[in-house]
Amino acid sequence: MRDIKITTIKQGEAFSAHEREEPTAEITWFKNNFGGVVPNTVYCPSCSTLTEYNAKWGEVQEKRNPTEKDYCFEIGYAQDGEELHARCLKCNFDLRQEAPTLEMKPKPKVMKKQVVIKPKMSATTELIWIGQVRYEGGFFTMPREEFMRVAQLGGENERLAARVGGSNYGLEWSVLLSEYREIGEGDSARIGIARNHWSNM
């Protein structure tokens, strides 16, 4: 029986077999044959922007060729009692939780051209911007506190707007008050308005 050699590796050191090497930066992603980025380490599924609105099909779909900027690799660790777990340093998402799912609609067999008539904005129309809006399963959602803030500001001369995934969307005031829905449970619940009620700006 051969002798077993034990090597102790200290923090910040790098070894190959029993040979010490210079530490190198972690490779977090690489490109596939189509030019898209493939993650090579853990990323945050909550604040990574891996979906986009497909105007042709009228729905949100996964990006075919995401870039490195679409991924959030800012992952750290947090202590929960005796358990050490991964958590996003940007949005504080707990990676022990189930990743947000993307609601995908089947593609229609027959395409019908849809004409969207955008509401006219007069000189007296004032835009009220809604903050912290994101897409979740067919809805544009916002924190409950933001919904309450905006609900107290509007009137006949105001129109609502939000920025999601790099694009601006408009919403009629009456829709906010009549079509809202609570998404989730408890303190983390958000208020959502179905995506089809929002218009591109």
176 vs 155: CA distance, rounded Å = 11
Give the domain 126-200 fold: Ribosomal Protein L25; Chain P (2.40.240)
Structure confidence at residue 117 as a pLDDT band (50, 70, 90): very low
Domain ranges of the chain: 1-101, 126-200
Q: Look up the pTM and report it.
A: 0.39
DSSP state of 94: B
108 vs 156: CA distance, rounded Å = 37
pLDDT of 191 strictly over 70: yes
H and E: helices and strands count for the chain: 2, 16
In contact, 91 and 82? CB cutoff 8 Å: no
- Phi, psi dihedral angles at 100 (to 5 degrees): -60, 140
The pLDDT > 90 percentage for the chain reads: 1
pLDDT of 187 strictly over 80: no
